[in-house]
Amino acid sequence: MSTDPMTPADALSTAAEVMPADPLPTPGEPAHDPDLRATGLRLSYDNRVVVAGLDLAVPPGRITAIVGANACGKSTLLRALARLLAPRAGAVQLDGRALQSIPTRELAQRLGILPQSPTAPEGLTVIDLVNRGRSPHQTWWRQWSKADEQAVHEALAATDMTDLADRPVDELSGGQRQRAWIAMAVAQGTPVLLLDEPTTYLDLAHQIDVLDLITDLNRRENRTVVMVLHDLNQACRYADHVVAMKSGRIVAEGTPAEVITEETVESVFDLNCRITLDPVSNTPMVIPMGRHHRDR
């Protein structure tokens, strides 16, 4: 199997030395970065146009966060990047090929998607779920190869789910459940990972836990991550690149400091705010001002 991710031992020992800007090539894989981009993208559900004429180049090897108000088209854009929604016009391309022209299975070896709040069938164990992440690499006669077994165990270790491998997913806590799904996406071994609101329904500690885990995957294994996030402060902390959307258009994109300004937040969310510096991460921190807290 060509997509052997490096072992967690490799990752742990080297993660400290290697800066994110100088990514490790994954062993056994050509060291080329995935080039995921959308050009002239027009997306609609039936006749309702959600995204009209959008261009986006996803920075390879980085974490990109898509932010915006409800119904601004950010989840729709993510679905299009994951070929779950075919564009009405324009195209999403991976390494120069339109997604719709790449066989689904081949694409599934390069690009993984975790939809918002997926549900596992009752009684499905964590290890069975994670093993299903290997299906793009499996055939009906080869369903548990050495590479599969290794990838599943590494994914379980990377998400700290090894001890829960035999537990049914539906009996886990919300945070554990989300890590089980992320483990499935990790086992899939794709250079690109798309996540739709991976922190939904989690309490604050588990939100941070999941975002830390996603950062680990990016820093250790050089996976390109695109995720839809609701929380601007978390987007600022965890993303290298922020895309702010409003009414199906990109209003601003760039580093958190470039994008998250009082003007952008006001125009994107219709919300007055102050921006200060996050004392922990030195990234912008949004302090919203509602009607009761203006002019103070």
Would you tell me which residues interact with other proteins (CB under 8 A)?
4, 6-10, 12-13, 79, 82-84, 104-109, 111-115, 118-125, 127-129, 131-133, 135-136, 138, 140-146, 148-150, 153-154, 157-160, 162-163, 165-166, 168, 170-171, 175, 188, 205-206, 209, 213, 216
Min separation Cβ 291 and other proteins, Å: 37
Tokens 């564009």, located at residue? 87
Tokens found for residue 232: 């601007």
Instruction: Give 116's DSSP letter.
Output: S
Question: What Rg, from alpha-carbon coordinates, does the chain have?
Answer: 19
Tokens found for residue 229: 């996030």
Instruction: List strands edge to edge, sheet with 97-98.
Output: 48-58, 36-45, 89-94, 97-98
What stretch of H or E contains 284? strand 284-289
Min separation Cβ 247 and other proteins, Å: 24
How far apart, in whole angstroms, are the C-alpha atoms of residue 168 and residue 140?
24
Min separation Cβ 207 and other proteins, Å: 11
* Identity of the residue, 226 or 265, whose beta carbon is nearer to other proteins in the bound complex: 226
* Identity of the residue, 60 or 118, whose beta carbon is nearer to other proteins in the bound complex: 118
Min separation Cβ 275 and other proteins, Å: 30
Phi, psi (degrees; rounded to nearest 5) at 78: -65, -40
* Identity of the residue, 90 or 136, whose beta carbon is nearer to other proteins in the bound complex: 136
Helix (H, G, I), strand (E, B) or coil at 14: helix
* Identity of the residue, 122 or 295, whose beta carbon is nearer to other proteins in the bound complex: 122
Min separation Cβ 67 and other proteins, Å: 21
What stretch of H or E contains 82? none
* Identity of the residue, 162 or 272, whose beta carbon is nearer to other proteins in the bound complex: 162
